């Protein structure tokens, strides 16, 4: 435990209102990006000499953020402002970096830690974007009015709609403030449209010039790809002038914004846009993420390049086979010995024996239908697509958490979402059917569907398959009941366009559907581990 320490009058931390600043960067595999970040740190030191300044990286590069904190404390700081050197508030600024600060606060209980806001759309950053655009225009020998120019603004792209929308806001502000004829927003990854699609869309608008502006702090792999995409478009559209504006870079404006964010943090004014944060309020399409715990996702690559310069050659982690609880193992020994399984393909046994375990009935498997290759296709889909959609939460909660985490599989059930309720009421369909329609729109084909409760969900799925070309990788349909159950399963069995697992009659239920998925996940995990059960 580190205690508060006395500071000499000569120390940079001796001022009554002084504090140490830790600049938390993302980190990169690209040495150009790391060098530019360190130039920015040097600029911040020159512009804020009264503060102890240290820097660390979230991923790949060294020093790590925790090492930067230790270095800052060693120079006499008794309070620390950790400022995320990122443009917008997304996962890194909302989860990963705060998790680092919480760990540091536990390690150093005598030190006051403050977490700053990201840079966001600060007026000085808008001015810097303006400078980059004007500098790009100056490289052209042509005189083309801004009204005849389309701005293409490229953001990083995240899973956070609030951060993505800020890129659109910036584009609108630059379009109106600088008089562009139009602006197109695209992203380097995760969000859509991607860079190539955005550039093609801009080229079709009929403008004489396109200015491509990467809304990035530093050079790196992604910025290089953006410029390469612009070059490719220029080759295919020789009559269209395409100018490449610079990214923000190590500039005085960026340094001043970071210093301002540090001072705001210590003063308790680190404002973030919590009113539209998907972790705090229900945002359309992201309702299930309200209250999601802050978990760091960067730990496997923290300081990675400093630990191992041969990252590409490092062996992948070894997958372990599924190990059942002793009671579970004994149950399956009894099930294996309890009937003749020789009539079933070996590839089907894990799924079928799971169904016997769930139902307590050896005869439950006699009317199970597995289309040719359904099990093998389902395993490949789980390993490749890593997305399971269920009709009700009971199926979702019946899936083995440990296997989901080991395989990196996400699950989704929309039956209780507000949009599902609205769609159900507006279109006169059940909520389960509406949930399937939303899955069709939200995920496309790269999913495994598990239906254990609602025959109407199966009927909607088969309708979308036949009438709209939906092609889920596997459809598991095992609802229980007497109203429409038998008919919906028969319809799924006749649906030849997709791999499917179902049964005849009225038996089934959410535990049955979850058991099939669990069996597939067990086989997938064993396949990764190279393990073949006896």
What are the catalytic residues?
357
Tokens of 373: 């290759």
Q: Whole-angstrom Cα distance, residue 187 to residue 155? A: 5
Q: Is 37:55 a contact under the CB 8 Å cutoff?
A: yes
**What's the distance, Cα to Cα, between the start and end of the chain in Å?**
52
Q: Is 405:428 a contact under the CB 8 Å cutoff?
A: no
β-pair type (368-370, 500-503): antiparallel
Q: Whole-angstrom Cα distance, residue 194 to residue 200? A: 10
Tokens of 454: 């609602």
Tokens of 251: 């500039």
- Determine how many CB atoms are found less than 10 A away from the CB of residue 459: 21
Geometric angle at alpha carbon 303, from 301 and 308, rounded to 5°: 85
Which residue has tokens 């083995």?
A: 400
If you ran DSSP here, which 8-state letter would residue 93 be given?
I
- Determine how many CB atoms are found less than 10 A away from the CB of residue 159: 13
Q: Whole-angstrom Cα distance, residue 149 to residue 206? A: 9
Q: Whole-angstrom Cα distance, residue 1 to residue 107? A: 7
The residues near 138 (Cβ < 8 Å, ≥ 6 apart) are none
Which residue has tokens 């190279």?
A: 530
Among 131, 130, 28, residue whose Cα is nearest residue 85 = 28
Tokens of 254: 């960026």
- Determine how many CB atoms are found less than 10 A away from the CB of residue 241: 17
């Amino acid at each position: 435990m580190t205690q508060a320490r006395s500071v000499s009058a000569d120390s940079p931390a001796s001022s009554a209102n002084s504090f140490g600043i830790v600049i938390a960067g993302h980190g990169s595999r690209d040495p150009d990006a790391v060098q530019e970040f360190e130039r920015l740190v040097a600029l911040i030191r020159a512009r804020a000499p009264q503060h102890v300044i240290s820097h660390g990286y979230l991923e790949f590069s060294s020093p790590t953020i925790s090492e930067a904190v230790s270095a800052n404390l060693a120079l006499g700081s008794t309070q620390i402002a950790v400022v995320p050197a990122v443009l917008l508030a997304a996962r890194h600024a909302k989860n990963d970096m705060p998790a680092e600060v919480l760990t540091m606060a536990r390690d150093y209980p005598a030190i006051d830690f403050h977490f700053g806001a990201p840079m966001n759309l600060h007026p000085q950053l808008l001015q810097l974007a303006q400078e980059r655009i004007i500098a790009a225009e100056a490289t052209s020998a042509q005189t083309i009015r801004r009204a005849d120019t389309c701005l293409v603004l490229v953001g990083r792209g995240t899973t956070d709609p609030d951060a993505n929308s800020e890129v659109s806001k910036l584009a609108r502000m630059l379009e109106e403030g600088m008089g562009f004829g139009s602006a197109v927003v695209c992203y380097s990854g995760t969000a859509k449209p991607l860079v190539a699609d955005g550039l093609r869309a801009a080229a079709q608008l009929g403008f004489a010039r396109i200015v491509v502006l990467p809304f990035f702090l530093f050079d790196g792999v992604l910025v290089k790809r953006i410029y390469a995409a612009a070059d490719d478009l220029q080759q295919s559209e020789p009559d269209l002038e395409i100018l490449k504006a610079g990214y923000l870079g190590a500039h005085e404006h960026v340094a001043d914004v970071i210093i301002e964010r540090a001072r705001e943090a210590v003063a308790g004014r680190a404002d973030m846009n919590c009113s539209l944060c998907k972790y705090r309020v229900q945002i359309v399409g992201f309702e299930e993420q309200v209250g999601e715990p802050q978990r760091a996702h960067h730990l496997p690559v923290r300081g990675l390049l400093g630990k191992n310069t041969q990252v590409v050659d490092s062996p992948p982690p070894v997958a372990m086979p599924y190990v059942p609880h002793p009671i579970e193992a004994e149950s399956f020994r009894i099930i294996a010995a309890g009937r003749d399984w020789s009539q079933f393909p070996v590839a089907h046994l894990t799924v079928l024996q799971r169904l016997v375990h769930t139902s307590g009935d050896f005869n439950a498997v006699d009317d199970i239908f597995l289309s040719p290759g359904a099990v093998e296709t389902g395993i490949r889909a789980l390993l490749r697509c890593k997305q399971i959609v269920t009709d009700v939460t009971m199926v979702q909660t019946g899936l083995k958490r440990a296997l989901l985490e080991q395989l990196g599989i996400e699950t989704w059930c929309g039956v209780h979402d507000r949009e599902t309720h609205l769609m159900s009421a507006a279109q006169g369909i059940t909520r389960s059917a509406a949930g399937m329609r939303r899955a069709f729109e939200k995920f496309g084909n790269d999913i495994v569907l598990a239906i254990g409760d609602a025959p109407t969900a199966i009927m909607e799925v088969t309708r979308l398959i036949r009438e709209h070309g939906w092609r889920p990788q596997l459809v598991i349909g095992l609802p229980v009941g007497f109203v429409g159950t038998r008919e919906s399963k028969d319809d799924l069995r006749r649906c030849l366009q997709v791999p499917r697992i179902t049964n005849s009659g009225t038996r089934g239920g959410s535990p049955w559907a979850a058991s099939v998925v669990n069996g597939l996940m067990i086989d997938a995990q064993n396949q990764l581990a190279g393990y073949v059960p006896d």
